[in-house]
Amino acid sequence: MYWTLELALSLEDAPWPASRDDLIDYAIREGAPLEVIENLQEMEDDEELYESIYDVWPDFPRKDDFLFNEDEY
């Protein structure tokens, strides 16, 4: 299983919190790349609810990871 920013972005607007099966259904409905669906299928299915994309891919960049001043725009 591997995640890239492009793959993870396809789940950013998923209906959180969601179970693994909910995320798979969402990815299929939204036409996410096949790699996203495969990654989700490889996750353990322990009926855990994922609260956000950070639970699925902890390395997903956060706003404070970028070095720019929002007040300038």
In a domain, 70, yes or no: no
Total domains in the chain come to: 1
Query: Quick check: pTM over 0.75?
Result: yes
In a domain, 8, yes or no: no
Q: What is the pLDDT of residue 49?
A: 93
In a domain, 2, yes or no: no
Read off the pLDDT of residues 8-35 as tens digits, 9 standing for 90 and up.
Answer: 889 989 999 999 999 999 999 999 999 9
In a domain, 65, yes or no: no
Residue environment code for 30-46, b if the CB has 16+ CB neighbours within 10 A, otherwise e: eebeebbbebbeeeeee
Q: What are phi and psi of 59, to 5 degrees?
A: -85, 5
Residue numbers of the domain that contains 25: 14-55
- Mean pLDDT confidence for 42-66: 81
Q: What is the pLDDT of residue 50?
A: 93
Q: What is the pLDDT of residue 46?
A: 77
